[in-house]
Structure 1
């Protein structure tokens, strides 16, 4: 009888535990690799052969080809059951032509950022942004500049990462924090789309946990060591604002992916200064910890031969998986990552 009483007491105690505690416990036991491995070469290739096709006319900002690519991107999110974020009317954040009249930009037509959203289950007001630009440089003398690597590779990576999160959510493992998948426009003409979002954010900057930016991740650069060992990715900016962002990325890579993390272009004195040349920088300027994944410059950079058949899909898959595992950890850890550096 005493044993029965103890058993009943224990059962009542377990049943009285809050759902929130149960979710936290469950999160810690999720098989992250299972969802990571839904990211695959076949889907990346299928989507990239559309996004970087001649039909998209090089996706120049504000032109018909870019709009076609945008519609295709939105179709993929709808098929995954991923909606536009709360507070928006659709999948577009309009970026007016007038805003993009700055610096070296030509006269551009009105354009749009594209956003999709998975709400957080426990801390929905805190948001992890994963970004990539979906514009390229259009056509010249009737020749299409397809931009498969720049940045079709990042564009399709976002879709695959979103698919992995959607699959986890379907099986009861929605992220604790919200995820905003942000395809920005106007990068090639001056980082306009990301600048527009950072100055007109849908969610408060103070609630933005980090930006994971993916720009050119489908090929290798011309360095000799990378020709022999292609399993690398350049990591830029991870240690500028948050020591935790840097260490977490290294931990996720060691645990799940196994790429060679190359910090060459993260050096403060590197002459290329890539830290200031992609969309993450507009988030970093606002004090948001930001990381930029990059494969470096190759012989087809901004040329007509940056085509989908040149992409190394096995390598693209590994890099997308790293971005996913980093986003997963940032979205599901107990506390927001610290901002403990000055950004320099």
Structure 2
């Protein structure tokens, strides 16, 4: 009888997600849990008028923060600061101008073998609010698309963990505030890190991945990559290999050119990590006619493209989190902003 009880207990442990060798997992199985239907469901809520354009420090941004907190709690992903505290407070005194207190969202997936090493997956969840006539800037693409993409990526990691495949390194899901006010939330995090920056392996930053720009009309199988080769040759090569193995998206490096006049490398939250010599990749669909207009709405999103791009980010994060050695930084960032 005792032997039968022991066998039953062991079977129950494995069925509940006991730790398995992550090398035996097929990450594409979990990438495929990122679906157009769930992305659409999230975004039609997150970029609705109810959230009032998610202006930093304003009631709509607070509602968006609560939405993200609830989603992480539903996935049983703990708060990075412990004690169910998903909000890293960004005080008004840190901002320039008349801006109220705000919050970064910090959820955390503890690694199984190298928990002290952190892979950050980031997006900004703020937008620009409303105009004087009450029109809402919904920010479905900027950056509702990246934010709901992270929720789906988080769910994919959760499903892998339930099957026993916990990543070797820890994952920080970081939804920052105040990007539209000058990358303030990510600047605050990197100056007040929850986990030491010297232990931060990489930042994969997602800012606008739900649309097709005019340069790729009729092609939803592309993504602009910016910064992948700036600090770590290994990261760039890993990124290319993961894409070739699993997704075969057209990786467009147009905006990675140091002489590009748009200077996108310096214009989203990854740059505050890069300034600290943390390797980054910035995922971006390019600008379009609805950029920073009230017409940036969920019905304009190409959900097939959004799903494919989010899958690529997940698969890249999976590879970074599970490789034997952390990425080597073989270049140094020069602050030329």
Same fold (TM over 0.5): yes
Which of 139, 152, 156 in structure 2 is aligned with 1:164? 156
Does the CA-based 8 Å contact 2:212-2:219 persist in structure 1? no
The within-5 A match list for 1:246-265 is: 246-265=236-255
- Tell me the equivalent position of 2:183: 191
- Tell me the equivalent position of 2:296: 306
- 1:45 maps to 2:31: no
| Aligned-residue offset at 1:86 | 4.5
- Tell me the equivalent position of 1:341: 331
The within-5 A match list for 1:24-35 is: 26-35=21-30
Secondary structure of residue in 2 paired with 1:144: coil
The within-5 A match list for 1:76-225 is: 76-86=71-81, 90-101=85-96, 106-140=97-131, 141-223=133-215
The within-5 A match list for 1:223-302 is: 223=215, 226-302=216-292
| Aligned-residue offset at 1:343 | 2.7
| Aligned-residue offset at 1:342 | 1.9
1:257-301 CA-partner distances (Å, limit 9, x unpaired): 111000000000000000000000000001100110000000000
Segments of 5+ residues of structure 1 without an aligned counterpart are 1-22
1:102-152 CA-partner distances (Å, limit 9, x unpaired): xxxx41100000011110001100000000000000000210000000000
Segments of 5+ residues of structure 2 without an aligned counterpart are 1-18
How many Å separate the matches in 2 of 1:31 and 1:89?
A: 31
Measured on the aligned residues, the alpha-carbon RMSD in Å equals 1.3
| TM-score, structure 1 as length reference | 0.90
Secondary structure of residue in 2 paired with 1:228: coil
The within-5 A match list for 1:2-17 is: none
Instruction: State the aligned residue count.
Output: 316
How many Å separate the matches in 1 of 2:148 and 2:218?
A: 26
- Would you identify which runs of 4 or more consecutive aligned residues in structure 1 move more than 6 Å? none
